[in-house]
C-alpha cells in the first residue's frame, strides 16, 4: 500500500462520535488502534474533523419542536437532525486522544457553515460546494483512496461515493469503520457505495 499514489482518509474520529460522546457510534473507539497501525503504510494521511458552529442547522435544537434523528426539508434536500455534536473548539470536537494525529499531512474541517451540513469530505450536502480536498489530493498526485472512520453509513459513505464521482479509486475498510445504523442506513449505504463503484473490504 506504500505506492506513492495512495492516501488514507480517516473520517471524523472525534470524541463526540465515540462512546460517551454526544452522537456516540457503538464501538467507535474500537477502530482507533487498527487505524493507527495502518497510517505508516500510506504516503499520505488525511484526517477529517466535523466542525460545527453553535447554531448549526443540523442540530435538532435549532428547530423548535423537532426531535433528534427525525428529518426535515432544507433548500439542498432532506436533512437528518442530530443531537448537538462537534461544536467548534469543544472537547467533543477534538480528535479522540488515542488517535495518532502526528502522521497526518492534512486535517480538513467540514460542516462549518451554519445553513448547510457536510457529511462528505469533498462536498457539502448540496453535492456542489467543494471543501478543497479533491484539489489537494490531485495536486499531490493521489489517485487511490482508502477510507476508514466514523460513521460508515454517513460521512464515510458520502465521502467514498463522492471520491468515485470525482474519478478517484475508492475503497472502504469496513473493519476500521463503525456505523450509526439509523433505520437501515448501513445496509442502504453499503448498497449505494457498491453501485457507485466503491470497493468494500473487510
Residues designated catalytic: 12, 110, 155
Cβ contacts of residue 169 below 8 Å, gap of 6+? 143, 144, 145, 163, 199
Could you tell me the CA-to-CA distances from 4 to 44, 113, 171, 201 in Å, in that order?
Answer: 8, 34, 16, 21
Query: Which residue(s) pair with 123 in the sheet?
Result: 130
Site for Zn ion in 48-107 (CB under 5 A): 50
Pick the binder of ligand VGL from 29, 38, 49, 50 (CB under 6 A): 50
Grid cell 488502534 is found at 33
- When CB distances are held under 5 to 8 angstroms depending on the partner's kind, the choice from ligand VGL, Zn ion, none that residue 154 binds is ligand VGL
CA atoms within 13 A on the CB side of 186: 13
Task: Give me the least distance between CB of 50 and ligand VGL, in Å please.
Answer: 5
Taking CB under 5 A as the binding criterion, the range among 24-32, 45-53, 65-73, 101-109 that sits at the site for Zn ion is 45-53
Q: How many residues bind ligand VGL (CB under 6 A)?
A: 9
Residue 86: left if φ>0, alpha if ψ -120 to 50, beta else—which one?
left
Ranges within 80-99 binding ligand VGL (CB under 6 A):
82
| Site track 5-44 with Zn ion (rule: CB under 5 A), x = hit | ----------------------------------------
Q: Strand 144-150 relative to strand 169-178: parallel, antiparallel, unpaired?
A: parallel
* Shortest spacing between CB 74 and Zn ion, in angstroms: 14
Residues 99-158 that bind ligand VGL (CB under 6 A): 119, 150-151, 154-155
| Using rule CB under 6 A, residue 193 touches ligand VGL | no
Pairing of strands 77-80, 106-110: unpaired
Cβ–Cβ < 8 Å for 83, 68: yes
Q: Which does 150 bind (CB under 5 to 8 A by kind): Zn ion, ligand VGL, none?
A: ligand VGL
Looking at beta carbons only, is 127 or 140 nearer to ligand VGL? 127
Amino acid at each position: 500500500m506504500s505506492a506513492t499514489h495512495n492516501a488514507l482518509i480517516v473520517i471524523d474520529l472525534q470524541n463526540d462520535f465515540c462512546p460517551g460522546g454526544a452522537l456516540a457510534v457503538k464501538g467507535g473507539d474500537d477502530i482507533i488502534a487498527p487505524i493507527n497501525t495502518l497510517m505508516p503504510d500510506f504516503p499520505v494521511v488525511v484526517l477529517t474533523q466535523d466542525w460545527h458552529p453553535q447554531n448549526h442547522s443540523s442540530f435538532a435544537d435549532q428547530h423548535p419542536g423537532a426531535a433528534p434523528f427525525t428529518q426535515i426539508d432544507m433548500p439542498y434536500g432532506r436533512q437528518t437532525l442530530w443531537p448537538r455534536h462537534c461544536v467548534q473548539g469543544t472537547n467533543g470536537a477534538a480528535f479522540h486522544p488515542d488517535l495518532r494525529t502526528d502522521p497526518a499531512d492534512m486535517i480538513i474541517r467540514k460542516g462549518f457553515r451554519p445553513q448547510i451540513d457536510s457529511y462528505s469530505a469533498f462536498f457539502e450536502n448540496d453535492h456542489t460546494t467543494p471543501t478543497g480536498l479533491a484539489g489537494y489530493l490531485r495536486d499531490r498526485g493521489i489517485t487511490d483512496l482508502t477510507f476508514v472512520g466514523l460513521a460508515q453509513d454517513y460521512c464515510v459513505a458520502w465521502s467514498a461515493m463522492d471520491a468515485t464521482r470525482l474519478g478517484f479509486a475508492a475503497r472502504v475498510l469496513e473493519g476500521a469503520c463503525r456505523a450509526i445504523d439509523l433505520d437501515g442506513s448501513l445496509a442502504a449505504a453499503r448498497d449505494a457505495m457498491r453501485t457507485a463503484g466503491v470497493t468494500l473490504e473487510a
